[in-house]
Amino acid sequence: MAQAHTISTLKETFGFPFRSPDWQGRFLVGSALLILSFVIPFLPAIFVYGYVLGIMRQAIEGRPLSLPAWEDWGRFWKDGWRVFLVGLVFVAPGVALLCGGTALYFVGSVSLPLLGTSGGDLGGAAVALFLLSFAIFFLSLFAGSLLAVLGAIPFPFAAAHLAAQDSLGAAFHTGEWWPALRRSKVEYFVAWVIVFGLFGIAYLATLLAYYSLVLCLLVPVLAAPLGFYASLVAGALFGETYREGMTTRSSRRKVAAKKAR
């Protein structure tokens, strides 16, 4: 299989946001939307999700990577919601387990002062309920986090299939994209390592600013462009990995068809 992430392709992927026409203004708009998300939770980020899906679509189609103009706001809004819904479904089991364990822990915590009596059996039952809810909470914390991570791992590939097919349902047609993911698992792992590293650097820089007396008030202003850049690179990397995986799958199908004749 052709290697999706060579030195030359990585150099192009890392640098494309700063080589695009009018990149300063387009990058500024994306960063501003993420800054606005600190004031108006979630909704401005939907446009960014859709924008990043557009970058992923460029990579899938093999087009030169560039920052598109912020013009088709309706498309960005639609694509952003589709990406959000797909991600929500993939991590839903883990989130549900985390919420369930937290709710049970809350019930046990509230029951202790309400049901407790000094030295009585009811007090012992309340303590037992609290300890049980506490144990379940930690188990759900571990299991829920694990499920959420396992759900998040294939999510970019599903989102890429959404972008390629321009269909929300395509993301859940795992039989169409899972074989390609398995065949490009090494490249996909490398992409995840790079993306994780980029977001880790962004998080570390934001954390250092947070603990600085001078820069702590500017955390959103610093975090937004770093997060936007990491998202752009992630969209390009996962789009390229998807293209390579699907191309290899198509090539193998053609070879198998020729042998069958």
**Distance, CA of 190 to CA of 5 (rounded, Å):** 8
pLDDT given at position 206? 83
Residue 2 is predicted with a pLDDT of 46
Distance CA 52, CA 99 (A): 29
Residue 80: phi and psi, rounded to 5, are -60, -40
Domain locations in the chain as residue ranges: 7-260
What was the pLDDT predicted at 102?
Answer: 81
Mean pLDDT, consecutive 10-residue stretches, the chain (261 aa), reads 64 91 95 92 94 97 94 96 96 89 74 54 62 81 91 96 96 94 92 94 83 70 92 96 83 49 54
Say what the pLDDT of residue 36 is: 94
> Residue 212's pLDDT is what?
72
- Read off the pTM: 0.85
Q: Provide the b/e sequence for 180-208 (b: ≥16 CB within 10 Å).
A: bbebbeebbebbbebbeebbeebeeebee
The confidence score (pLDDT) of residue 135 equals 83
Sequence-ordered list of residues with C-beta below 8 angstroms from that of 159, at least 6 positions apart, any chain = 53, 56, 83, 86, 87, 171, 238
